[in-house]
Amino acid sequence: MNASGAAPTVALLDYGSGNVHSAAKAMEAAGARVRLTADRSAVMAADGLLVPGVGAFHAVMTALRAVRGDELIDRRLAGGRPVLGICVGMQIMFDRGVERGTTSEGLGEWPGTVRELTAPVLPHMGWSPIDAPAESRLFAGLHDERFYFVHSYAATEWTLEVTNPAITAPSVTWAEHGERFVAAVENGPLAATQFHPEKSGAAGLALLRNWVQAL
Catalytic residue annotation: 87, 196, 198
9 with 48: CB under 8 angstroms?
Answer: yes
Q: Is the dihedral of CA 30, 31, 35, 38 positive or negative?
A: negative
Q: Is the dihedral of CA 80, 105, 184, 68 positive or negative?
A: positive
Nearest by Cα to 110 from 77, 80, 136 = 77
74 with 106: CB under 8 angstroms?
Answer: no
- Who's near 159: CB < 8 A, 6+ residues apart? 111, 112
DSSP tag of 67: T
Q: Give the HSE-up count for residue 166: Cα atoms under 13 Å, Cβ half-sphere.
A: 0
Nearest by Cα to 162 from 92, 99, 110 = 110
